[in-house]
Structure 1
């Protein structure tokens, strides 16, 4: 699939992907990643999108509400959408604990169940990047944003820590579906501009760094992500009983974490922040 072409993806393929992705993200404990590793990232996106009282906001790939809940606490009328009902249920509990009121809806980023122009702000915080058909998902983000409204996205860059992690996982992971594009491409400004094309204006893109202070060393990072992060869990499951390959991956992930650990015990995870206006 080219960056500028919107091609119909077969319904049976989309349904197969939905089933697999729901299982991947329901495995482990992604809310622990959101709460313990990247807790501030959603609020950064909400601020960048200038979300305020009365705004109609859609969070795509919302997970457990890392961006949705800060948007609701800012006074917006928020819908949090995600493929995984388990993550949405965790989000409901988090929202109740924080006094946030919002709607939670199961939805696929490739086919959002909302009317054209239904929202003032449509955003995604390291969420839509995992929808494998990028052009289809980008078209949906724009479609449900009103003319003059805001589209905002945060994605891990290919050259940053998480991009390197996915490159490390790739030789051990199951093959992607036909036509799928790698998630970290959403962290490349040129790619995102091509996806949105002339459907948006006033594109502002900035590479930023998130300081992560959760891990004492690379092994601690590896063990945490093996227990909590769906794509990592799926990769190890794909290896099955191949202990030698699993040991290779263990070593590679620990080495990755050690390379990025700074003297002060923190890492910096690079991401691309994009904000654009619906034409």
Structure 2
């Protein structure tokens, strides 16, 4: 398949608890990994990243999925509601789940301020607490791509989508700015645990189609670019992501005791931004929108 270009508020919060057992069995190691992911995304100010940088992406995915009033929608790894809130404002019945309680709390506040009815829950994209075929539409916007076990996450997306229902995914591409930012940070970061896969792979249609297999049909994959003008200089970009974006914060904490490596990463991130500068500090962040219909409907 070659990608085809097409171009009264109530909110419920439910939280699952996660414990870490000892000694470290495979299951307890996985729980420890999820705890680290929760902590990472709670660092900094991810809602500021959404508000100041990527707010346009949620409505893009809502439009791509054609979400309609009355449909049952699950937004996976929902952050603070970049997809869930516009979907709810269209009249859909929306459940929004995220692994990080702090983001669920932020989403609850944001939905309330917007007058959007969203059922917020703390939940794991790799073990969704929903019945089979429970939703008409399942979405994730630069969210599920960060689940460490790609096949497990993809299987869950499919399981909770009804036959004939739609799946919509928006992911950073490996070749785009954010994918390249992760490539720059990789030598400075903790090595990934065994079995974890790089998030930007979700930005390759062939990878997503391998995960979904013949369980989907009517696939449309489109590469697009988000124009970002929030940063006047490479230094401004770097400093914002150092302060607000969990993965960048964790990477810098890992090398905090080595000033030379900190300075080297500082310089590499500025150089990356300058290479992508379109003039006046504007940049483009490439992403993939992939929609599909679950087979069997």
Q: Structure 2 length as normaliser, TM-score?
A: 0.90
Q: Deviations over 1:53-90 (max 9, x none)?
A: 00100000100001110100111000000000100111
Aligned to 1:19: 35
Measure the CA separation in 2 of the matches of 1:133 and 1:181. 6
Partner of 1:94: 110
> Residue 241 in 1 paired to residue 252 in 2?
no
Instruction: State the shift of 1:100 in Å.
Output: 0.6
Task: Give the counterpart of 2:74 among 47, 52, 58.
Answer: 58
2:240 maps to 224
Match of 1:171, SS state, is helix
Structure 1 residue 84 corresponds to structure 2 residue 134: no
Q: Aligned partners of 1:253, 1:247: CA distance in 2, in Å?
A: 10
In structure 2, the partner of 1:187 is: 203
Q: In the alignment, which residue of structure 2 is the partner of 1:46?
A: 62
Matched, 1:252 2:268: yes
- For the Cα contact (< 8 Å) 2:76–2:125, is it kept in 1? yes
Superposed CA offset, 1:219-244 (max 9, x none): 10000000000000000011121111
Helix, strand or coil at the partner of 1:197: helix
Mapped pair 1:271 → 2:271: no
Look up the match of 1:135: 151
Q: 2:57, 2:82 within 8 Å by CA — same for their partners in 1?
A: yes
Per the TM alignment, residue 265 of structure 1 is displaced from its structure 2 partner at its CA by 3.3
Gaps of 5+ in 2: 1-24
Question: What's the CA shift for 1:14?
Answer: 2.0
Partners of 1:85 and 1:234 in 2: CA distance: 18
| Other-structure match for 1:4 | none
Quick check: 1:161 aligned with 2:172? no
Counterpart pick for 1:152 among 168, 180, 189: 168
Deviation at 1:101, TM superposition (A): 0.8
Tell me the number of residue pairs that the alignment of Structure 1 and Structure 2 aligns.
271
TM-score under structure 1 length normalisation:
0.96
Aligned partners of 2:234, 2:279: CA distance in 1, in Å? 13
CA–CA distance in 1 between the matches of 2:144 and 2:190? 20
* SS of match in other structure, 1:175: coil
For 2:96 and 2:205, locate their aligned partners in 1 and report how far apart those are by CA, in whole Å.
25
Partner in structure 2 of residue 107 of structure 1: 123
Quote the RMSD (CA, aligned, Å): 1.0
SS at match of 2:287: strand
Unmatched segments (≥5 aa) in structure 1? 1-8
Corresponding residue SS for 1:37 = helix
Runs of 4+ in 1 over 3 A off after TM superposition: none
Give 1:43 deviation, angstroms: 0.6
